[in-house]
Amino acid sequence: MSKQAQHWEKTKNLLFITLAIWFVFSIGIFFFATEMNASGIKPFGYPLTYWFTCQGSLGIFVILIFWFAGRQEKIDEEFGFTEREDD
């Protein structure tokens, strides 16, 4: 497999992981909204579903994007596809 094909393979895998995490916190958990609110788990004292919609999911998305960017940079570096800084 060429260098470029391997790079794309790894990039795709990272995409799938990123989208899987995204799916869980933007769609998946809200199938169980009623159950989560009733669960008695209370981050900072807020009802669980309420907390996810106010802060939880939103904060996870912020962290997820920075994590994704960092991982992608590593993949690019591994294959020597990093841009020159003076570009």
Partner 1 sequence: MIKGKFIDNLPKVYGIYTGGFLGFIILMAIAEQAGMSAKMIGIFFVAFTVLIYALIGYLSRTLQVDAYYVAGRQVPTVFNGMATAADWMSGASFVAMAGGIYFKGYGYMALLVGWTGGYVLVASLLAPYLRKFGCYTVPDFIGTRYGGNMARLSAVIVLTVASFTYVTAQINATGTIASVALDIPFNIAVYVGLASILMCSMLGGMRAVTWTQVAQYIVLIVAYLIPVFWISNKIGAGFFPHFMLADEVARIAELESQFGLGTVKNSAADLASVPKGLAGITKAHSDVNTTPWKFISLAVCMMAGTASLPHVMMRYFTTPSVKAARRSVGWSLFFIFLLYSSAPMLATLSKLSLMDPNLPTGIIGKSIADVQAIDWYQNWNQANLMFVSDFNGNGTLELNEFFMGGKAVVLATPEVAGLPYVISGLVAAGGMAAAMSTADGLVLAISNALSHDIYYKMINPKAETAKRLIVARVLLVIIGFAGATIAALEIQGILGSVIWAFDFAMSGLFFPLVLGVWWKRANAQGAVAGMLLGLISGTAYLVWVRNGGAGFWGVTQLTFGIVGSLVSLVSMVVVSLITKAPDSATQKMVDEVRVPSGKTVLGKQH
What amino acid occupies position 76? D
Q: State how far the alpha carbon of 4 is from the alpha carbons of 11, 12, 68, 78, 82, in Å.
A: 10, 12, 20, 11, 13
- Measure the CA–CA gap between 79 and 62, rounded to whole angstroms: 27
What binding mask, one character per residue, do residues 17-56 give for partner 1 by CB under 8 A, x or -? -xx--x--xxx--xxxxx--x----x-xxxx-xx-xxxx-
Tell me: does residue 10 bind partner 1 (CB under 8 A): no
Number of residues that bind partner 1 (CB under 8 A): 48
**Contact footprint for partner 1 (CB under 8 A):** 4, 7-8, 11, 14-15, 18-19, 22, 25-27, 30-34, 37, 42, 44-47, 49-50, 52-55, 57-59, 61-62, 64-66, 68-69, 72-73, 76, 80-84, 87
